[in-house]
Structure 1
């Protein structure tokens, strides 16, 4: 069909009008963008020229997508800590601002996962599905938003729950020399939260891959990985990732705390964290102070641990409990980092290498350990059976040292020493063998009442198992203990009778006759 010239002209005019309309509505909008370039690359850091409007702790994109965090802002250059593989970066590469602070993904899908401090998966299960992100650095809860610590956080370890109790929302430091079982206590605590509706986060900072793999295997074998998130910054990772790891783990935990849930975060360990921060600071020419740490190292850890708290009911009533771990050198508690963290936290659990070498595990030195908050949260049953146990145990240790001088001892002193040795033997506990509060109360009451005095030390563990098994016939007392009610005298008598009956087969006829 042939068109007339008039129809072709009309069609052309309509097409031109449509084109003009499209061009008018699609004009390009020019937006200014600050671009700098790298002038120096070091171990985990970069120096940037340009970016006049950059802000402190802003996230930058370097080269082909390596993330960096603004650390120093000097008149001539910007110091950046690198958060990824920077092997392909070089001087002259472009740097762009993001206009945002560093944030990490948060959500339920992180539970049971192993991720790095940026939320990227370290397991083989693909990217976690998270619909929300929180900044890595967040202000701690206001004082008026906090509530007293009132609920115990049971570790399942007798010597801690009875003598150095921890409450939900507390910050309890674990410290000791290398290879004294610091991580073992934290892992036991995580395992003991099974069935207690506590979200656990294990943050590994600067650890070897083999150590992290062993921890993950233990959690998986005991069914604890289902409610645990593992945040990993290995020793081979850039120091920038090790620096942000505990803050990222805390933000991931705060997501659950603000929903009204209880959270436990283990920082293993903050000694490596402080060393990573010292390395970055010295590379960026910050002035060194005591032990070459920069002067703000105290603020580094205080702003982290201040985020642990118990929120008021109006804020959801959730809690975040922190178990920071640090390593001492030659039992020196007065070193810079240990003294800093002792002053920040609400108590400490000190692990003695001497006790470790003697096989007294966990090697908790009661005299140097303290809980400034947890005693208020302790179940009443503990106070009924172990109220003076810490003092008497400390006195026993002093008396034992005195007795080594060969002094002749009277019968009462010898009995005190024998009782103390049995208490110390009962406080020994294998790793990954947590006890419930009722089981602990039963065993501690039996030992303080002298039921184990005549039991040979090699048979103490057998006697303890027999006493624990005797709880099966006392369900009402078990319920009373776990509900936080005070034990009445008749309940204590029933506990003692059941424990005596359980121990008697191990004593022999003459010992049983003496007891009666």
Structure 2
């Protein structure tokens, strides 16, 4: 009997072990959820206690499906930035962890869609079927994963492409007072990418809803929305949404960059983003620094813009070009936020309210605009045509200012002024009409070689159009050579010059032509 007992006990243990395994297999797996309580709530922020294991920037859920992001991790409580309206919340409400850091959907499914920084659709086209989500905050690519900026990003604007060029992977700041055309330059740049394969992301931060609607309507009209993603945090959105908007837009762009594609991201604008961050910081009792901005405001923007780059082929070979927009007050470029952004970016396009009021559109002030990288990526045709145009145009502007105090000018000075006025007229360009590279080159050759000198100022626009039409109709092979990056030879430049001379013959003022001779 004693010899059978061990066998019986073993059989009993095996039987109950199998039974327990079946129970464990079919029992519901309930993961523990940490639940805290709101101790205080105000507009845009809340203080929560009882979540000892919460992560930085973790997504929290409140009653009424209100979302928040853990921002301050203090020993006794958590400062939470609310991503929805806070009127429905009160002290004592529950706060639940989601165990995931704030993220956003990414993928091809986002093209043509309008969404908020959390990934919720704003275009009434139904939910976004993106299976992949990535954190909004991600580290910038390592230095050894980056390649030099070598490929131009054409904006379609003559004054920018010729004098302040932008390369793919560059960070170029668009700077100026209110209502000087900053968004117009960004929008023209997006429109000009229609056949380049560049994916565009427009991030609206604290903009008026009507202004965002106009941008979207323009993109639809120009058939550019299909290659775009629009991330919107309007002016009436909570500051938390405005704060995370540019990071979410960058994460969306990085997905395409890592697939080997070229991406353009517009941040419109980072001055409003800095104000939203300041508001959140002051509400959470973070110490203010200069001009009441928190001390880490520089880091907030630098870690965003450092994510723009051109990757090496071994890690994808894509690029992410950033065009942040910043607003100045009374042309004060030395204010705190503009100087921060100027030091972070690779150059700036400055828009002057004086030029805007005079009708010089786009109102780019050449003397205060610079590109520290794009010149290396500029097409050779531009360097052959506009190599010394920037310097001569700046000299013309100074000479024009001094000439107002004197009535007697020598012939050489008078000719320099007349040439400069025609260059300025050539740089004028209607909004929403970006020009192909070859047409820009033809017009620049004409104006730098004096073809437009005998043409009256009022007829420069029509003469430019005639030159552009002649270039595309009569020199298609040369147009392709320019786009392919071939260096223009002297005989090709002379061919363009002869073509332009014949195209403007009908616009020449005979009296002016005689005086030029």
- For the aligned pair, the TM-score class normalised by the smaller chain equals over 0.9
> SS where residue 453 of structure 2 aligns?
coil
Question: What is the alpha-carbon distance in structure 1 between the residues aligned to residue 417 and residue 314 of structure 2?
Answer: 52
The answer to whether structure 1 residue 454 and structure 2 residue 454 are counterparts is yes
CA offsets, 1:290-322, max 9 Å, x none? 110000000000000000000000011100000
| In structure 1, distance between residues paired with 2:286 and 2:274 | 14
Identify the residue that residue 37 of structure 1 maps to in structure 2. Answer: 37
d(CA) in 2 for partners of 1:336, 1:405: 36
Paired residue for 1:321?
A: 321
User: What is aligned with 1:181?
Assistant: 181
1:32 shift after superposition? 4.4
* Distance in 2 (alpha carbons) for counterparts of 1:20 and 1:409: 104
Could you tell me which residue of structure 2 aligns to residue 234 of structure 1? Answer: 234
Report what 1:125 is aligned to: 125
> SS in structure 2 opposite 1:478?
helix
Instruction: Give yes or no for the alignment of 1:413 onto 2:413.
Output: yes
1:63 positional shift = 2.1
> Match for residue 3 of structure 1?
none
Say whether 1:81 aligns with 2:81: yes
2:54 matched to which residue of 1? Answer: 54
Q: Which position in structure 1 is the counterpart of 2:153? A: 153
Secondary structure of 1:207's counterpart equals coil
Corresponding residue of 1:427 = 427
Give 1:501 shift. Answer: 0.2
Structure 1 unaligned spans of 5+: 1-15
How far apart are 1:109 and its partner, in Å? Answer: 1.2
Instruction: After TM superposition, give the deviation of residue 401 of structure 1 in Å.
Output: 0.9
Runs of 4+ in structure 1 off by over 3 angstroms are 16-33, 508-516
Deviations 1:313-355 (Å, cap 9, x if unpaired)? 0011100000000100000001000000000000000000000
2:206 aligned counterpart, secondary structure = strand
**1:120-177 superposed Cα distances (whole Å, 9 cap, x missing partner):** 1101210111111111000000000000111000000000000000000000000100
Kept in 2, the 8 Å contact 1:348–1:371? The answer is: yes
Which deviates the most, 210-219 or 72-81?
A: 72-81
Match of 1:101 in 2: 101
CA distance in 1, matches of 2:415, 2:446: 16
Aligned length: 501
CA distance in 1, matches of 2:29, 2:506: 90
Cα distance, 1:508 vs. partner? 4.7
Would the alpha carbon gap of residues 375 and 451 (structure 1) be closer, same or farther in structure 2, given more than 3 Å must change?
same
| Alignment TM-score, normalising by the size of structure 1 | 0.94
Q: CA–CA distance in 2 between the matches of 1:25 and 1:358?
A: 77
Q: Higher mean Cα deviation, 489-498 or 17-26?
A: 17-26
Unpaired runs of at least 5, structure 2: 1-15
Aligned counterparts of 2:30 and 2:442: Cα–Cα separation in 1: 75
Residues 1:356 and 1:91: Cα distance change in structure 2 (over 3 Å):
same
Q: State the 1:90 CA deviation.
A: 1.1
Aligned residue for 1:243, secondary structure, equals: helix
Counterpart Cα distance in 2 of 1:24 and 1:104: 35
- TM-superposed CA distance for 1:196, in Å, is 0.6
SS in 2 for 1:360: coil
Match of 1:437 in 2: 437
1:504, 1:512 within 8 Å by CA — same for their partners in 2?
A: no
Which residue is equivalent to 2:204? 204
How far residue 33 of structure 1 moved from its aligned partner, in angstroms, is 3.5
Contact 1:202-1:265 at 8 Å conserved across structures: yes
CA root-mean-square deviation: 1.8
Partner of 1:491: 492
Return closer, same or farther for 1:97/1:456 CA change in 2, 3 Å cut-off. Answer: same
Please give the alpha-carbon distance, in whole angstroms, between the structure 2 residues aligned to 1:84 and 1:25: 39
Query: Is the contact made by 2:455 and 2:509 (CA closer than 8 Å) also made in structure 1?
Result: no
* In 2: Cα distance, 1:268 partner to 1:215 partner: 11
Partner SS, residue 203 of structure 2: strand
Task: Please give the secondary structure, in 1, of the residue aligned with 2:502.
Answer: helix
Task: Decide which moves more: 323-332 or 505-514.
Answer: 505-514
Q: CA deviation at 1:91?
A: 0.8
Alignment correspondent of 2:12: none
Contact 1:202–1:266 under 8 Å retained in 2: yes
